[in-house]
Amino acid sequence: MKKSLLLIAALALQSGCTKDNKAPVAAAQAPATPAKVELGDFGLDLSAGNPDIKAGDDFFAHASGKWYDSFEIPPDRSSYGPFHKLNDLSEERVKTLIEKAAAAKPAAGTPEQKVGDYFASFMDEAGIEAKGLGPLEADLARIQAAQSQRDIATLFGRPGIMSTFGIGISPDLKNPSRYSIDIAQSGLGLPDRDYYLKDDAKLKEHRAKYLAYIEQMLTLGGVKDGANKARGIVQFETALAKVQWPLEKRRDAEANYNPRSKDELLKYAPGFDWQAFFDASDIGTRQEFVLGPITAIRDTAKLVGDTSVQTLKDYLTFHLLRTNATFLPKRFDEANFAFYGQQLRGQPQQRERWKRGVALTGDAVGELVGQVYVKEYFPPESKAKMEILVGNLRAALKDRLADLSWMSDETRKRAEEKLGTFVAKIGYPDKWKDYSALEVRRDDLVGNVRRAAIWDWDRNVARLDQPVDRDEWFMNVTDINAYYNPLNNEIVFPAAILQPPFFDPAADDAVNYGGIGAVIGHEIGHGFDDQGRKFAPDGSLRDWWTKADADAFGAKTKVLVEQYSSFDALPGLKVNGATSLGENIGDLGGLNMAYEAYHNTLQGKPAPVIDGLSGDQRFFLSWAQVWRTKIRDEALRAQVLSDPHAPPYFRVNGAVRNMDEWYAAFDVQPGDKLFLPPEQRVKIW
C-alpha cells in the first residue's frame, strides 16, 4: 500500500555477519571438499574480454568487450548482465517451488496455499478477461462520487489509490529506536520530474506519447472525452513536477528530515485536507510526522487545493487504471507495456507471464517463498565463507582508517567506533514475517494485491508505538541485490546474490574479492559516503565530524562528482555525478577495501599467476565482469535521469582509474584514455 520511506542505500546486493572487527584472514577460496568452479577454470570468463583494447583506454571493453559486441539483449529485457542472469535463475527456482507447493493441494491458510494461490490468481488469464473491470468498479465508483477536496484527500489515503503524497513508517532518522510517520512527494506517472520539464527532443517525444497513453487508458476504461481529460492530467502533473525536488536534493538526509506536529503541518501546508488523508490511512489520531522534501509538500498541498475536483477525479481514475493494468484484461496490460516497456525503456517484448507472476508473488509474500528457497539453494558453507569475507573487509577498512592522512584523530576514533558496531546479515532473516492475517484467494488477483498492501500497511501502523524491529529485512532472500541501512548500521546480503559471478566458494580468492568482496565493501562504504557518514554509530542522524574533516571530505567528493559528470551516457546526456555520488563513493571505497582484504589473505606471500594473469589483474577483471551489462538507449536515459546509480560501464571505468594499483597491474600510462595524473586520483577511504 504505502511504501516505507526508510533511507536505504542499495547496490543490487546485501550481507550479514559478526560485530567483531577482527576476523580470520583465512582464504575464502578453497572449500573443504573440492568443487567445480562455475565460470572458467578459476572464476573468470576469459573469452569475454577484448585484448585488442588497452585496459588503460577502456577497461570495461578490455574485460568484457567481446561479450558486449556479440551479446544481444533478450527482447523481454531493457538491459542484461550478471544481475539479470541470476534473476532468471532465481525466477526458475521460485517457479519450481511455487508449482510444487500448488501441486501438493495444501490446506487453507498454510504458506504453501498462499504462495500457490497468489501465483495462480495472476496466471488465470481467462478469469481475468471474464471479470473485465469488475474488480475496480467499487473504487471507480468512489472516485466518481467525490464532490469535494475532502473527498479527494480521503481517496488519496485509501490503499491502492494514487496520491500526490507518499507516506511511510520507518525508524526515525534522529531517534532510530522509535518509528516515525514519514511524508514525501509523489504522484507522477513519468519516472521523474525531469521527464516533464527538460527541453530535450526525446523527452518531448515521451511526453507526447504519455498524453496519448493517458487518453488510451481512459478510453479503455469507458471514460468519455478522454483527450481533454488527458490534457488536464498532464497539465496537473507538470505543475506537480515543477514543485518537486530533484533526485540529487532528495538524497540529502538532513534536508529531508523535517519533523512537524500535526498543527504545524496544517499551518505550513494549507490547501489540502490532511485530517481526511490521515483518517483514511488509519493514522488520524497521530500528532507527529516527519516531512521529507518540505517545500514540495507545502507547494503540492496548495496545488491540489487550487485544482478542480473534476481534474483530480480524472487524475485518480487514470492512475487507478494504470497501476492495476497488469492485473486487468490483456488490452490494459498491453497498452501499459507499450508505453512503459517499449516507449520509455526500449524493451521490445513483454516478459513471459509466469516470470511476472513470480515477481508479483515475491513482492507480496516474499518471505514465505524465501523460507523454502534457502533450504534448497543456500548451503551453510556459503554463509560461513561469506562471514570470513565480511570480517576481512571490515578489518581492511579499520586498517585504512588508521592510515588516512586527511582525517583527524578525533573523527577517526568515531569512524572506528561506527565500524565496530556494523551488523552484517547474510543469506536470510533470523525471524520471518508472519503472514497469518493475510487472506489469499485463487480467483481474486486484484483483491490479493490490495489485501497484501493493506496487510503490510496495517503491520506497520500496528508497531508505531513498539520497539523498532532490528531483525527486519527490506529485501527478499530471492532478490539479486544488497543494501546498507544506516538506521540499523547494517549491511544485508540476500542468499540469491551469493552465487557466481559475485561469489563462488570454489573460485580463486582474487576473483571472489574483486566480485562479492567489492560488493561487501561497497555496502560498508555506504556507511561512510556523503549521506551515510552523517549517521552516528547508534544509527541516528547526528553529525560526528569535525568541520575540518567534513570540509576535507567534501573537497575529495567534489572531484569525484566532476569526474563522473564528465562522462557522456548518450549524445547530449551526461552522467549526473551529484546524483550518483553515494554509489560512486561506495564503489571506490569498496574496491579499495576489497583489494586490501585480498592482499591480507596472502599474508605477505606472492599471489599465484594463473593463465598468465597476476592476482591483481584477476581481482580487477573480476570487478569489471561483475558489472558487464548491455542496456538499451531508453533504459539508459531513464537510469541517468531517475536512478542514483551511475550506468555500469562508468562504474567499472570510473572506479579503477582512481586506484594506483590498477595502473600498476595493467601498465596504464600517460596518454591512455582513462589515465589520471596521481594528484587527480580520488582517495577517500
Rounded Cα distance, 569 and 575, in Å = 6
Rounded Cα distance, 517 and 529, in Å = 18
Residues of the chain with CATH 1.10.1380.10: 134-327
- Is the distance from CB of 582 to CB of 553 less than 8 angstroms? no
Rounded Cα distance, 55 and 410, in Å = 40
3-state secondary structure of 107: coil
Give mean pLDDT, residues 467-486.
Answer: 96
Residues of the chain with CATH 3.40.390.10: 13-79+377-422+481-680
- Is the distance from CB of 59 to CB of 624 less than 8 angstroms? yes
pLDDT band at 281 (very low <50, low <70, confident <90, very high): very high
pLDDT band at 6 (very low <50, low <70, confident <90, very high): very low
Q: Which CATH class for the 13-79+377-422+481-680 domain?
A: alpha beta
Helices 615-626, 59-70: crossing angle, 10 deg rounding: 50
Rounded Cα distance, 390 and 387, in Å = 5
pLDDT at 102 over 80: no
Percent of the chain surpassing pLDDT 70 = 95
Instruction: Provide DSSP, 251-286.
Output: T-TTTT-EEEEHHHHHHHSTTS-HHHHHHHTT-TT-
Q: In what order do the strands lie in the sheet with 175-185?
A: 165-172, 175-185, 288-291, 258-261
Give mean pLDDT, residues 187-213.
Answer: 97
Record the cell numbers describing residue 200, joined without a space: 530535450
> 62-76: buried (b, 16+ CB within 10 Å) or exposed (e) per residue?
bbbbbbbeeeebeee
pLDDT at 1 over 70: no
Question: Phi and psi for 339 in degrees, rounded to 5?
Answer: -85, -55
> 219-241: buried (b, 16+ CB within 10 Å) or exposed (e) per residue?
bbbebeebeebbebbbebbbebb
Rounded Cα distance, 255 and 468, in Å = 23
| Residue 558: partners with Cβ closer than 8 Å, 6 or more residues away | none
How far are the Cα atoms of 274, 345, 550, 642 from residue 237, in angstroms, in the given order? 20, 21, 38, 16
End-to-end Cα, the chain, rounded Å: 39
Beta strands in 6-96 (DSSP E): 9-13, 79-80
Rounded Cα distance, 629 and 567, in Å = 17
Strands 9-13 and 482-485: antiparallel
Rounded Cα distance, 584 and 106, in Å = 47
Which residue has 594463473 as its cell numbers?
A: 610
The answer to whether the pTM exceeds 0.85 is yes
pLDDT of residue 20: 34
Rounded Cα distance, 137 and 381, in Å = 52
- The percent helix, strand, coil of the chain (3-state, each to 5) is 55, 10, 40
Helix (H) or strand (E) holding 452: helix 445-462
pLDDT band at 16 (very low <50, low <70, confident <90, very high): very low
pLDDT of residue 101: 79
pLDDT band at 13 (very low <50, low <70, confident <90, very high): very low
Closest CA to 214 of 351, 311, 348: 311
pLDDT of residue 5: 38
pLDDT of residue 36: 86
Half-sphere exposure of 208 (CA within 13 A, CB side): 6
pLDDT of residue 49: 97
- Is the distance from CB of 381 to CB of 28 less than 8 angstroms? no
The domain over range 134-327 is classified in CATH as 1.10.1380.10: yes
- Is the distance from CB of 271 to CB of 243 less than 8 angstroms? no
Rounded Cα distance, 336 and 355, in Å = 17
